[in-house]
A and B are shown apart, each in its own frame.
Chain A
Amino acid sequence: MTTTLSSAGKDTLLTIAGRSFRSRLMVGTGKYATHALMLDALDASGAEIVTVAVRRVDLDRTREEGILHHLDPNRFFLLANTAGCYTAEDAVRYARLAREAGFNDFVKLEVIGDRETLLPDTVGLLEAARTLAGEGFQVLAYTSDDLITALRLEDAGCAAVMPLASPIGSGLGMINPFTIRTITHRLSVPVIVDAGVGTASDACLVMEQGVDGILMNTALAEAKDPVLMAGAMRDAVSAGRAAWLAGRMPRREIAVPSSPLTGML
């Protein structure tokens, strides 16, 4: 029998603000060609937490209908985001609207600071995080890979901190493993890397830094075969997690033989 992470009983559940999840892979629901393809990709990913956005209802019904026509809220944990918000005030407004939908009080808080890079406005983010945490929200804060901001978000009462691997939708992978590792070592709340993962090896490398999970959207939605990529990401997150728990061998800049030096002819 193959020893896997779950069969070996070596891993714990991912717990965020008292809610526990088996999967460490969270996925977005945007940008898929069809709802059917999205649902197949969600299935293949094994994700339990899926993100959604808050937008105006199209009163003329020319655009798509709400995603809850397709996504069973009893099967997935819906994590609403504040994507597209450029001020703390807007992000707080979107979060309050999302909570009123009545599913949970979790929010993936985004306050974007720049239209070209979509990098977070960490000053606005901290302000919004304090306000929402004070209102009883479980805030998962999308942030830069800056340790000091991550520490301040934890102090502000965030339930999880979500540093980026690289900019949203870039697929550049993890630009700075050192900062991700440092944030992971220093924070007590879960660290979920959000944004930038492009392919399975990126996800594996991110998990090998010891983070608690990964959130991704474009890497699946823009893959040629999103369902196949979702399965690859599931395996990569699991493999990276297992490798981190297993503890890698030290790096050496000299060779060490693997075969005995004794008994040679």
Chain B
Amino acid sequence: MTRTPLSLTVNGDPRSVPGPATVADLLAHLSLDPRAVVVEVNRTILRRPDLESTPLHEGDSVEVVHFVGGG
């Protein structure tokens, strides 16, 4: 099977990942621990158990956030 690249916007920047891909695949591709981040796809926040089962689509806008120091 040929893997068609998926063009996404991740944290505001264009990024291409091998498709088909779930959100969990994207995090693995970015070497991110799913337990340490929260993910929003097209302004919808994903629950952690759903990362594995949520497919990404061409043009999706993904935000990956975590906690940083703040007051």
Contact = CB atoms under 8 A, between A and B. Distances in A.
Contacts of A38: 69
A217 B47 CA distance: 31
A96 B38 CA distance: 10
Secondary structure dominating the interface of A: mixed
A238 interface: no
B48 to A, nearest CB: 7
A184 interface: no
A59 B71 contact: no
Point out which of B32, B36, B66 has the most chain A C-beta atoms below 10 A from its C-beta. B66
B41 interface: no
Contacts of B12: 56
Contacts of B64: 56-57, 59
A228 interface: no
A195 B11 CA distance: 30
A55 B66 CA distance: 6
Nearest to A55: B68
Point out which of B30, B66, B67 has the most chain A C-beta atoms below 10 A from its C-beta. B67
B7 to A, nearest CB: 16
A192 B56 CA distance: 43
A67 B71 contact: no
Nearest to A53: B70
Contacts of A68: 36, 66-67
Given A56-B63, A101-B38, A51 B11 contact: no
Given A66-B67, A66-B68, A100 B10 contact: no
Contacts of B28: none
Contact of A102 (B43, B48, B65): B48
Contacts of A32: 69
B39 to A, nearest CB: 9
Nearest to A96: B45
Contacts of B40: 97
Interface in B20-66: 30, 32, 36-38, 40, 43, 45-48, 63-66
Contacts of B71: 28-31, 51, 53, 81, 83, 168-169, 195, 215-218
Nearest to B31: A61
Nearest to B64: A57
A30 B30 contact: no
Q: Which 9 A-B pairs have the closest CB atoms?
A: A53-B70, A28-B71, A217-B71, A66-B66, A29-B69, A52-B67, A30-B69, A100-B38, A56-B11
Interface of A: 28-32, 38, 51-57, 59, 64, 66-68, 78, 80-81, 83, 93, 96-98, 100-102, 168-169, 195, 215-218
12 contacts: A28-B69, A53-B67, A56-B12, A56-B64, A57-B11, A59-B15, A64-B68, A66-B36, A66-B66, A97-B63, A101-B38, A102-B48
Interface of B: 10-13, 15, 30, 32, 36-38, 40, 43, 45-48, 63-71
Given A31-B69, A54-B66, A97-B65, 5 more contacts: A54-B67, A55-B67, A59-B30, A78-B67, A98-B38
